[in-house]
C-alpha cells in the first residue's frame, strides 16, 4: 500500500514539476546568427547582430540591430528591447571582429560570455574584418542568401581548400592560451561585395599582427600540416611570350603535402629544419612545355618557387614575432629546457630562430593530354 | 457459412454462461449425489436437472440391438459431430448385432471410449463435445469421442504475414495446433504436458517442449505459474500471458505470442517452451528476450546479408519510433543549437505560423496517428481504405495549410509511423507507442536531458526485466557474445552451431560444422 502511495506521489510530483523553467519555444526566441564587434570614431564599442525574420509575408529575410555597449551581455539586454522574442545566442554562426577592435589589447576578454555561460555553444567561427564591420551588417544582396549563411558557406568551403582557416571559439581559446602557438583567424574585406582575403594573424595577446593572402594561407596551412588539398598557380620563368595570351602560368593541385619538422637548439638559438613533400597534379598549363621529357626540371622549378614563398612567409612571421605555425609546440616537445626559458616571449625567441625550408615536389599526374 | 458458425458459437456461449450460474446454485445439493445411478430414467432426469435451460442438449433414448438393453445418448448439438453420432454410434448400436459376445465392448467405430461414473466428469466431457452413452443397469456411462465443434479452416496468419514462410496459421483448436507443430518437429523428444486452468470453463493448456533441450527449471516455473491460476476461464492466450508475466507493470511484452506454427517450431528448437491454449489461435513462447521481438521467421529464409541489414533497420526503427517526436520537441523547445542552420531557418519559417507550442503540436499529431491506426485495425477491410485517404489527404495536407501543424511535424509523425510499422511483433509495436508518449513528456520538460534520462531509465528497466526467470536483456546485458550471432544481425546459418544461451537449453549443439561447398570439397 505504501508503495502504491509512493508511486502515486512520484507520478504527481513529476506531472506538476516545474522543470521547464529554461524552456522557451523556438517562436518566442530571437536568434542572432551573426555577431559583430567594432569600434566607432570615438573608440566606443558597437555590437551588431543579424537575426533571421520568420514569416511568409515579410520580404526582408533578416533584421539588423546595432547597439552601443560595454559588454556582450549588456548588448544582449539592449537587443532584447528591440526584438519580439528573447535573445538567445545559441545559434550564432560567426563573430565578425573589426580591425580596429583587433588592434586593441584585451578584446578577447569581451568573448568571455561565450565561455562562461555554458548554454552558449562554442561553434561560432571568428572572422576578422579588414575595415568597418558595419559595411557587412548593412549589406543586403538581392542575389545572395542572408549574410550568416553566405559567410558560413564561404568559410566552410574555402577552408577545406586551405585558402583560409575555420577557427571557432574553441580553437581560438586554445590558440590564445597555448603559449607555443599564436591565433590565426579568417579575414574578410569589403571589395564591392564580401571578399575573402585570407587570414589574419594575431599575437599572443590577440592583437592584430599581420594579414596573409590566399597563397600565403595555403603555405601556412601546409606548414601547419593542416592542408589536405590546395590549388596553386605559379608563374614559370623563361617562357617566351610570343602572344599576350601565353604566359608562364601553371596551375596544380597539391594533395596531402607531407611536412616534417626537425627541432634542435644550438648556439643559443632554435633551429627548425622543415622538409615539405609536395605531390602535385597539374591542372592547367597555358604554355607549351614537354612535361614528360622535362619532368625533373619542372619539379625543381616548382619546388624552388614554393621554397622561396615559404621562406618569405616565415620571414614575415618572424618579423611580426608571432608563431601561427605552432613551432613552439615542437620546441617544447624536443627542447623542453631551452623552450621553458623563453616560453613567456616565445614569439621573440622564434624571430631569432633559424628556420630552413626545403621543398620536394613530385608530379604525380599531368592530365590525360600531352 | 462463417456467419453460421459464429452464430452457433455465440448461442453456445450464451447457454454456457447461463448454465454456469444454475450449476453454482445446485453445487451444494450435487456433492452427495455426484455418482451416477444404475437406473436409466433417473439418470435422464438428473441430466435434465443439471442442464435445465439447455435446449441444445440432445438426449436420444433407444434399445441396443445386441444386448437388448435400454440406453440413452446425450450430447450437445453443435459441439459434437452429428455425422459421427449417426453413423458410428446410433446406427451400430441400434441395428447391428456384432460378432463377439463380450459383454462390455460395443461395436462402435469411434476412437477412444472412456467410462465415467461421476456427474462432474460427465459434465466436463459433454462440454468438450463428447457424447455420453448411458446404459440401463450399469453404474457407468461411456464418453464417446464425437467431438466436432464449429471450426475455421486453416488460413494465412493475419497479424504476421510472411514472404517466404509457410502460409498456415494456428487455428482455434488446440489439438490441430499441436499437430501443426508436430509436422515441423517429428521427433519423440517433443514432449507435451497438459494442464487445465479456469474454474468455470476448464481451458486445456498444453506445454510443448523439446524434452532433451528445454531447461527443467524453466519448465517447472512455467508449469507452477499456470497451475496456480485461479480464474473463471481463459479466453485467449493474451490473458494467460498477462496472468503469468514476470512484471505486469512493464510496458514491454515478456512472452512472444505468435500465430505461426513455423515460428513456434523454430523457437522450440532453440530450447524454448511453447504454450498452446485451446480455443485461441495464438501460442505463447517463453522465455523471450528483448531481441527476440525483432526477429521474424523470414529472416532465416532470406539470405543472411539481407536479413542482417533488415534486422539492423528494425533496431534503428525502434529508436526512431521511440525518440523522434521527443527529439523534435527537445530541439524546438530547448536545444536549438543542435539543429543545422539551414534546417533551422526552414523550421523557423514553418513554426512562425503555428499557434501551438511544440509539445501540444506533437501530441495532437501523435494522437491523431494513434486514432487512425486503431480505426484502421477495427474497420472491415473495404471501409478501412478510407482511413488512408482521410489520414493522407485531410490530416496531412489540410492541417498544414490551415496552419495548425507545421510541415516538419507531419514529416516527423510520418517517419514515426513508418518506423513502428517495420517492427515485426505487434506487442512490441504497442509498447513502443506508449514509450514514445513518455519520451515526449520527458522531452517537453527537460529537453535533450529528459530524453537521455528517459533512455537510461528504459535501458535500466530492460536490463532488470525477466521472462520466466531468465534475463530479458540477454544477450546485451548480461553480455553473451555467442548469442549475438542472431541478435542484431543474423549470421549465416552454418555459424549457428549452438542454441542461444538465453533460452537456457541444456543441450546446446544445434548442428555440425560442415557445409557443402561444391567442387567435391
A181 lies in the same domain as A242: no
| Record: contact B337-A123, CB cut-off 8 A | yes
Q: What is the DSSP string of B53-85?
A: T-TTEEEEEEE-TTT--EEEEEEEBTTB-HHHI
pLDDT value at residue A260: 94
Q: Kindly report the number of other CB atoms within 10 A of residue B250's CB atom.
A: 16
pLDDT reading at B219 higher than 70:
yes
| Record: contact A149-B341, CB cut-off 8 A | yes
A253 touches A357 (CB < 8 A): no
State the burial class of residue A15 (Cβ atoms within 10 Å of its Cβ: 0-12, 13-18, 19+): exposed
Question: Which residue of chain B comes nearest to A85, CA vs CA?
Answer: B352
CA distance A25 to chain B (A): 4
pLDDT reading at B521 higher than 80:
no
CATH number, position A300:
3.30.300.210
The secondary structure element, H or E, covering residue B263 is helix B261-269
Question: Which residue of chain B comes nearest to A89, CA vs CA?
Answer: B337
B194: Cβ contacts below 8 Å, ≥ 6 apart: B204, B205, B206, B207
pLDDT reading at B16 higher than 60:
no
A286 lies in the same domain as A330: yes
Question: Which residue of chain B comes nearest to A152, CA vs CA?
Answer: B341
Residue A67 banded pLDDT, cuts 50, 70, 90: very high
pLDDT reading at B107 higher than 70:
no
Question: pLDDT digit string (tens) for B43-80?
Answer: 888 888 888 888 888 898 888 887 888 889 999 888 88
Q: Average pLDDT, whole number, for chain B? A: 85
Query: Which of B119, B61, B118, B122 has the alpha carbon at shortest distance from B93?
Result: B61
pLDDT reading at B22 higher than 50:
no
Per the model's pLDDT, the better-predicted residue between B176 and B103 turns out to be B176
CA distance B521 to chain A (A): 47
Phi first, then psi: give them for residue B495, nearest 5 degrees. -90, -15
CB-facing half-sphere around the CA of B43: CA atoms within 13 A: 29
B-chain residues near A17 (CB < 8 A): 445
Identify whether A167 is part of a domain: yes
Chain B interface, Cβ < 8 Å to A: 332-334, 336-337, 339, 341-342, 344-345, 347-349, 351-354, 357-358, 444-447
A197 lies in the same domain as A279: no
B-chain residues near A25 (CB < 8 A): 332-333, 357-358
A208 lies in the same domain as A265: no
Question: pLDDT digit string (tens) for B305-353?
Answer: 999 999 999 999 999 999 999 999 999 988 888 899 889 888 888 888 8
Of B333, B348, B447, the CB nearest to A54: B348
Total residue count of chain A as it appears in this document: 370
A242 lies in the same domain as A359: yes
Residue ending a domain, choose from A212, A242, A261: A212
A360 touches A303 (CB < 8 A): yes
A165 lies in the same domain as A64: yes
The complex scores an ipTM of 0.80
pLDDT value at residue B87: 85
Question: What is the domain range of residue A342?
Answer: 224-370
pLDDT reading at B4 higher than 50:
no
Read off the C-alpha cell for A315.
620571414
Provide mean pLDDT across the span B495-499.
Answer: 86
pLDDT reading at B19 higher than 50:
no
Phi first, then psi: give them for residue B513, nearest 5 degrees. -100, 0
A208 lies in the same domain as A228: no
pLDDT reading at B247 higher than 60:
yes
A309 lies in the same domain as A358: yes
A80 lies in the same domain as A130: yes
Identify whether A13 is part of a domain: no
B-chain residues near A91 (CB < 8 A): 336-337, 339, 341, 344
In chain A, which ranges are continuous DSSP H helix? 2-15, 72-80, 99-102, 112-116, 134-137, 147-160, 169-177, 214-223, 295-320, 327-334, 336-342, 346-351
Give me the percent of chain A exceeding a pLDDT of 70.
97
| Record: contact A56-B333, CB cut-off 8 A | no
Of A19, A26, A56, the CB nearest to B446: A19
Provide mean pLDDT across the span A236-259.
Answer: 83
Read off the C-alpha cell for A111.
568573448
pLDDT reading at B187 higher than 70:
yes
Of A23, A24, A90, the CB nearest to B337: A90
Provide mean pLDDT across the span A158-184.
Answer: 93
Question: Which residue of chain B comes nearest to A93, CA vs CA?
Answer: B341
Identify whether A228 is part of a domain: yes
A252 lies in the same domain as A146: no
A46 lies in the same domain as A193: yes
| Record: contact B447-A23, CB cut-off 8 A | yes
Q: Count of CB contacts below 8 A, A vs B?
A: 59
Read off the C-alpha cell for B227.
497451475
A31 lies in the same domain as A100: yes
Of A23, A54, A93, the CB nearest to B333: A23
pLDDT value at residue B251: 93
Total domains in the fold of chain A: 2
Identify whether A21 is part of a domain: no
CA distance A355 to chain B (A): 43
A-chain residues near B444 (CB < 8 A): 20, 23
Question: Which residue of chain B comes nearest to A56, CA vs CA?
Answer: B349
DSSP character at residue B49: H
Question: pLDDT digit string (tens) for A181-230?
Answer: 999 999 999 988 899 999 999 999 999 999 999 999 999 999 999 988 99
Give me the percent of chain B exceeding a pLDDT of 70.
91
Identify whether A16 is part of a domain: no
B-chain residues near A93 (CB < 8 A): 341
pLDDT value at residue B209: 94
Amino acid at each position: 500500500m505504501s508503495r502504491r502511495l509512493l508511486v502515486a506521489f512520484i507520478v504527481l510530483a513529476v506531472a506538476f514539476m516545474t522543470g521547464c523553467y529554461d524552456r522557451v519555444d523556438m517562436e518566442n526566441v530571437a536568434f542572432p546568427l551573426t555577431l559583430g564587434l567594432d569600434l566607432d570614431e570615438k573608440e566606443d564599442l558597437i555590437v551588431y547582430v543579424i537575426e533571421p525574420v520568420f514569416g511568409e509575408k515579410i520580404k526582408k529575410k533578416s533584421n539588423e540591430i546595432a547597439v552601443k555597449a560595454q559588454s556582450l551581455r549588456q548588448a544582449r539586454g539592449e537587443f532584447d528591447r528591440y526584438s519580439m522574442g528573447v535573445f538567445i545566442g545559441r545559434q550564432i554562426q560567426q563573430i565578425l571582429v573589426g580591425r580596429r577592435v583587433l588592434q586593441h589589447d584585451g578584446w578577447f576578454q569581451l568573448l568571455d560570455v561565450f565561455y562562461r555561460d555554458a548554454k552558449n555553444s562554442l561553434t561560432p567561427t571568428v572572422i576578422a574584418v579588414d575595415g568597418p564591420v558595419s559595411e557587412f551588417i548593412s549589406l543586403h544582396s538581392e542575389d545572395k542568401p542572408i549574410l550568416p549563411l553566405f559567410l558560413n558557406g564561404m568559410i566552410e568551403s574555402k577552408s577545406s581548400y586551405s585558402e583560409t582557416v575555420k577557427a571557432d571559439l574553441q580553437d581560438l581559446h586554445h590558440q590564445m592560451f597555448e603559449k607555443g602557438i599564436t591565433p590565426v583567424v579568417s579575414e574578410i574585406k569589403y571589395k564591392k561585395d564580401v571578399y575573402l582575403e585570407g587570414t589574419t594573424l594575431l599575437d599572443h595577446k590577440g592583437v592584430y599582427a599581420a594579414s596573409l593572402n590566399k597563397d600565403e594561407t595555403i603555405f601556412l596551412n601546409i606548414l601547419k600540416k593542416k592542408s589536405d588539398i590546395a590549388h596553386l598557380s605559379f608563374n614559370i620563368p623563361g617562357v617566351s611570350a610570343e602572344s599576350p595570351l601565353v604566359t608562364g602560368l601553371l596551375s596544380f593541385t597539391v594533395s596531402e603535402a607531407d611536412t616534417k619538422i626537425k627541432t634542435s637548439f644550438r648556439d643559443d638559438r632554435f633551429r627548425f629544419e622543415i622538409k615539405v613533400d609536395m605531390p602535385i597534379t597539374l591542372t592547367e598549363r597555358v604554355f607549351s612545355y614537354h612535361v614528360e621529357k622535362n619532368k625533373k626540371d619542372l619539379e625543381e622549378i616548382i619546388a624552388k618557387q614554393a621554397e622561396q614563398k615559404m621562406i618569405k612567409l616565415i620571414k614575415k612571421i618572424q618579423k611580426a614575432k608571432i608563431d601561427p605555425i605552432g613551432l613552439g609546440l615542437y620546441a617544447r616537445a624536443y627542447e623542453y629546457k631551452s623552450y621553458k626559458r623563453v616560453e613567456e616571449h616565445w614569439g621573440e625567441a622564434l624571430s631569432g630562430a633559424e628556420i630552413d625550408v626545403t621543398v620536394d615536389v613530385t608530379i604525380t599526374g599531368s592530365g590525360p593530354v600531352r | 457459412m462463417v456467419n453460421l458458425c459464429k452464430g452457433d458459437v455465440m448461442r453456445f456461449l450464451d447457454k454456457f454462461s447461463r448454465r454456469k450460474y444454475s450449476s453454482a446454485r445446485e453445487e451444494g445439493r450435487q456433492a452427495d449425489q455426484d455418482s451416477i445411478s444404475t437406473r436409466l430414467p433417473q439418470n435422464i432426469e438428473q441430466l435434465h436437472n443439471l442442464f435445465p435451460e439447455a435446449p441444445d442438449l440432445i438426449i436420444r433414448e433407444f434399445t441396443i440391438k445386441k444386448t437388448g438393453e435400454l440406453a440413452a445418448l446425450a450430447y450437445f448439438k453443435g459441439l459434437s459431430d452429428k455425422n459421427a453420432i449417426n453413423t458410428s454410434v446410433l446406427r451400430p448400436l441400434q441395428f447391428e448385432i456384432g460378432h463377439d459376445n463380450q459383454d462390455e465392448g460395443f461395436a462402435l467405430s469411434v476412437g477412444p471410449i472412456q467410462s465415467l461414473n461421476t456427474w462432474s466428469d460427465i459434465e466436463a466431457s459433454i462440454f468438450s463435445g463428447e457424447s455420453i452413452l448411458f446404459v440401463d443397469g450399469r453404474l457407468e456411462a461411456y464418453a464417446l469421442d464425437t467431438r466436432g465443434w464449429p471450426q475455421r479452416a486453416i488460413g494465412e496468419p493475419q497479424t504476421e504475414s510472411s514472404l517466404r514462410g509457410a502460409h498456415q496459421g494456428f487455428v482455434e483448436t488446440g489439438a490441430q495446433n499441436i499437430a501443426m507443430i508436430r509436422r515441423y518437429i517429428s521427433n519423440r523428444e517433443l514432449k507435451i504436458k497438459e494442464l487445465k486452468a479456469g474454474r468455470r470453463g476448464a481451458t486445456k493448456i498444453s506445454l510443448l517442449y523439446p524434452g532433451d533441450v528445454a531447461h527443467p527449471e524453466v519448465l517447472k516455473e512455467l508449469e507452477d505459474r499456470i497451475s496456480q491460476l485461479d480464474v473463471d476461464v481463459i479466453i485467449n492466450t493474451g490473458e494467460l500471458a498477462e496472468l503469468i508475466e514476470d512484471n505486469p507493470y512493464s510496458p514491454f511484452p515478456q512472452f512472444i505470442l505468435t500465430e505461426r506454427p513455423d515460428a513456434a517450431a523454430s523457437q522450440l528448437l532453440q530450447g524454448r517452451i511453447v504454450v498452446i491454449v485451446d480455443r485461441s489461435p495464438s501460442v505463447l513462447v517463453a522465455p523471450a528476450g528483448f531481441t527476440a521481438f525483432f526477429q521474424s521467421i523470414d529472416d532465416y529464409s532470406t539470405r543472411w546479408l539481407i536479413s542482417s541489414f533488415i534486422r539492423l533497420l528494425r533496431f534503428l526503427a525502434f529508436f526512431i519510433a521511440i525518440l523522434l517526436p521527443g527529439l523534435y520537441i527537445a530541439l524546438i523547445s530547448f536545444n536549438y543549437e543542435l539543429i543545422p542552420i539551414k534546417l533551422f531557418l526552414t523550421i523557423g519559417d514553418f513554426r512562425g505560423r503555428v499557434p501551438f507550442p511544440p509539445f501540444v503540436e506533437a501530441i495532437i499529431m501523435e494522437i491523431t496517428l494513434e486514432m487512425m491506426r486503431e480505426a484502421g485495425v477495427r474497420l472491415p477491410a473495404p471501409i478501412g481504405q478510407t482511413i488512408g485517404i482521410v489520414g493522407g489527404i485531410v490530416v496531412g495536407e489540410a492541417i498544414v495549410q490551415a496552419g495548425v501543424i507545421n510541415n516538419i511535424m507531419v514529416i516527423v509523425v510520418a517517419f514515426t509511423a513508418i518506423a513502428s510499422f517495420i517492427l515485426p511483433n505487434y506487442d512490441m509495436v504497442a509498447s513502443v507507442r506508449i514509450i514514445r508518449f513518455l519520451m515526449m513528456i520527458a522531452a517537453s520538460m527537460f529537453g535533450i536531458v529528459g530524453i537521455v534520462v528517459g533512455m537510461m531509465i528504459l535501458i535500466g528497466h530492460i536490463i532488470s526485466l525477466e521472462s520466466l526467470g531468465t534475463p530479458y536483456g540477454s544477450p546485451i546485458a548480461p553480455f553473451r557474445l555467442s548469442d549475438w550471432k542472431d541478435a542484431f544481425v543474423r549470421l549465416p546459418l552454418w555459424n549457428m552451431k549452438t542454441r542461444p544461451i538465453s533460452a537456457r537449453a541444456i543441450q546446446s549443439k544445434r548442428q555440425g560444422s560442415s557445409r557443402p561447398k561444391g567442387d567435391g570439397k
